[in-house]
Amino acid sequence: MTYQFHEFSNGIRLVHRQTGSPVSHFGMVVNAGSRDEMPHEQGLAHFIEHMIFKGTHKRNTYQVINRLENVGADMNAFTTKEETTVYASFLTTHYQRVIELLSDILFNSVFPEKEMLKEKAVVIDEINSYKDNPSEWIHDEFDELMFPGHPLSKNILGTPAHLKKFTQSNLNEFIHRLYSTNQIVLSSVGNTPFSKIVALANTYFGSQPVSLGDPGRIVPQGYEAKKIVKKFGRHQAHIIMGNLAFTAHDNRRIPMALMNNLLGGPAMNSRLNLALRERHGIAYNLESNYQPLSDTGLFSIYLGTDEKLVDKAIELVHRELTKLRKQKLGVNQLRIAKEQIKGQLAISVEAHQNEMISIGKSVLVFNRVDTIEEINSKIDKVEAPELLELANEIFEPSKISMLIYKNVR
Nearest-angstrom CA–CA distance, 318 and 376: 30
CATH homologous superfamily of 227-406 equals: Metalloenzyme, LuxS/M16 peptidase-like (3.30.830.10)
Domain ranges of the chain: 4-206, 227-406
Q: Taking a C-beta distance cutoff of 8 angstroms, is the pair 117, 168 a contact?
A: no
Closest CA to 297 of 326, 254, 337: 254
Nearest-angstrom CA–CA distance, 336 and 313: 26
- How far CA 404 is from CA of 123, 240, 276, in Å, comes to 26, 7, 17
- How far CA 361 is from CA of 86, 185, 330, 364, 384, in Å, comes to 12, 8, 34, 5, 29
- Residue 70 three-state SS: coil
Are 4-206 and 227-406 equal in CATH topology? Answer: yes
Q: Taking a C-beta distance cutoff of 8 angstroms, is the pair 59, 69 a contact?
A: no
Nearest-angstrom CA–CA distance, 360 and 29: 6
Q: Taking a C-beta distance cutoff of 8 angstroms, is the pair 215, 43 a contact?
A: no
In one letter, which amino acid is 22? P
Strand partners of residue 405: 230, 238
Closest CA to 85 of 139, 33, 10: 33
- Looking at CATH, the fold of the domain delimited by 4-206 is given as Cytochrome Bc1 Complex; Chain A, domain 1 (3.30.830)
Q: Parallel, antiparallel, or unpaired for β 227-231 and 84-91?
A: unpaired
In one letter, which amino acid is 144? E
Q: What is the pLDDT along the chain (409 residues), one digit of tens a residue?
A: 799 999 999 999 999 999 999 999 999 999 999 999 999 999 999 999 999 999 999 999 999 999 999 999 999 999 999 999 999 999 999 999 999 999 999 999 999 999 999 999 999 999 999 888 888 999 999 999 999 999 999 999 999 999 999 999 999 999 999 999 999 999 999 999 999 999 999 999 999 999 999 999 999 999 999 999 998 877 789 999 999 999 999 999 999 999 999 999 998 999 999 999 999 999 988 999 999 999 999 999 999 999 999 999 999 999 999 999 999 999 999 999 999 999 999 999 889 999 999 999 999 999 999 999 999 999 999 999 999 999 999 999 999 999 999 986 5
